[in-house]
Amino acid sequence: MRIPPMFDREGSSLYDDKRNQNHRNGTIIDLGHFGKEVDTPQLQIMTNNLTLMYRQMVTNAPCPSQFFGAAYPLGTEPSPGMGTIENIPHTPVHIWTGDTPRQKNGENMGNFYSAGLDPLFYCHHANVDRMWDEWKLIGGKRRDLSNKDWLNSEFFFYDENRNPYRVKVRDSLDSKKMGFSYAPMPTPWRNFKPIRKTTAGKLNTASIAPVTKVFPLAKLDRAISFSITRPASSRTTQEKNEQEEILTFNKIAYDDTQYVRFDVFLNVDKTVNADELDKAEFAGSYTSLPHVHGNNTNHVTSVTFTLAITELLEDIGLEDEDTIAVTLVPKVGGEGVSIESVEIKLEDC
Ligand SMILES: [Cu+2]
């Protein structure tokens, strides 16, 4: 949960001056970070981090389509939905590391165009790659895709002689074939399933606006709650095993030169304390890594965001309910975020 000390020695080739100076000297990385300094106690930051890791690796990623993100075949709309760990911890580590206090665009790590200028970028991305291995070790249906389009996708890199070098996804599934493997490490998040803190039971959804009245939402400038009907309730173990219940946010639009982050909770009202994420009702967060474009003008992006909620509904005791309450809490940039619609779908796992 810290930047390794060797990256923090001034004068070393691993050091980069364009990092947030408040986050040096072994400061604990805040995966809940949203670009502002907040007075969250260290213990709370650590429990938030463990909760976020559990959500991204376990709860929200029971199937390959959640972990890897939605399919993006040629000819379809961009940003069909990113993978769980691309969202978190990948993006918050970028934002947390970048020099937001002194650089216009959070350079280096906090912006897409400049992130690779910081040597830490490569360590960070190797760590994300390591989490791919860890995810497969959890078991269940957590395995690589067999889709040929995915396996045969190609990327160009450069070798040590600056010659282009082609790599297919299928060549990169087993790191041992590439000559390396990751040393076993403790995974404290594996057993960090948040426990239910309230005993209030089901929130009265009759007093909350239905999803059809709230969306399309013009701006997420404050916390909002809505009720939404599930496609099925009281699902059997076998049904849950075959299909995952997916809370889907369609066409989230915002200016992607800005950082946005919002949290999603189930079965709580708008007064929820969103600084404490270690609760069963916390479903997940959406985060974005800013892209500064050549001309630096606004650039509206439209994305789909999905959250797997089968385990969550079990843990909160909502499996038998037809209608549930969802609350969105903007952390940063919400005034520039619009959302066209929200639905719950069952997807093959
Ligand atoms: Cu990155």
pLDDT per residue as tens digits for the range 254-313: 988 888 999 999 999 888 988 889 999 999 999 988 887 666 566 788 999 999 999 999
For residue 292, the CA-to-ligand 1 centroid distance in Å is 14
For residue 196, the CA-to-ligand 1 centroid distance in Å is 33
Indicate if the pLDDT at residue 35 is higher than 80: no
pLDDT bucket at 80, cuts 50 / 70 / 90: confident
For the chain, helix (H) and strand (E) counts, in that order, are 9, 9
Q: Say what the pLDDT of residue 294 is.
A: 63
For residue 121, the CA-to-ligand 1 centroid distance in Å is 7
Indicate if the pLDDT at residue 142 is higher than 80: yes
Q: Where does residue 26 rank: exposed (0-12), middle (13-18), buried (19+ CB within 10 A)?
A: exposed
Indicate if the pLDDT at residue 47 is higher than 70: yes
Q: Say what the pLDDT of residue 220 is.
A: 97
For residue 91, the CA-to-ligand 1 centroid distance in Å is 7
For residue 253, the CA-to-ligand 1 centroid distance in Å is 21
* ipTM (interface pTM): 0.99
Angle at 79 between CA 76 and CA 81, to 5 degrees: 110
Could you tell me if residue 307 is left (phi over 0), alpha (psi between -120 and 50 degrees) or otherwise beta? beta
Assigned fold of 205-348: Jelly Rolls (2.60.120)
- State the Cα–Cα distance between residues 314 and 269, nearest whole angstrom: 19
For residue 270, the CA-to-ligand 1 centroid distance in Å is 32
Q: Say what the pLDDT of residue 152 is.
A: 95
For residue 336, the CA-to-ligand 1 centroid distance in Å is 23
For residue 326, the CA-to-ligand 1 centroid distance in Å is 30
For residue 308, the CA-to-ligand 1 centroid distance in Å is 23
Indicate if the pLDDT at residue 78 is higher than 90: no
Percentage above 70 pLDDT, the chain: 97
Q: How many residues are present in the chain?
A: 349
For residue 316, the CA-to-ligand 1 centroid distance in Å is 33
For residue 126, the CA-to-ligand 1 centroid distance in Å is 10
For residue 293, the CA-to-ligand 1 centroid distance in Å is 17
For residue 147, the CA-to-ligand 1 centroid distance in Å is 24
For residue 124, the CA-to-ligand 1 centroid distance in Å is 7
pLDDT per residue as tens digits for the range 215-256: 999 999 999 999 999 999 999 999 999 999 999 999 999 988
The CATH architecture to which 5-190 belongs is Orthogonal Bundle (1.10)
For residue 102, the CA-to-ligand 1 centroid distance in Å is 20
Q: Say what the pLDDT of residue 214 is.
A: 97
Of 232, 238, 199, the C-alpha closest to 319 is: 232
For residue 21, the CA-to-ligand 1 centroid distance in Å is 20
For residue 42, the CA-to-ligand 1 centroid distance in Å is 25
For residue 340, the CA-to-ligand 1 centroid distance in Å is 27
Residue with tokens 């699902």: 235
Percentage above 90 pLDDT, the chain: 78
Give me the residue spans of the domains in the chain. 5-190, 205-348
For residue 94, the CA-to-ligand 1 centroid distance in Å is 7
Q: Where does residue 42 rank: exposed (0-12), middle (13-18), buried (19+ CB within 10 A)?
A: exposed
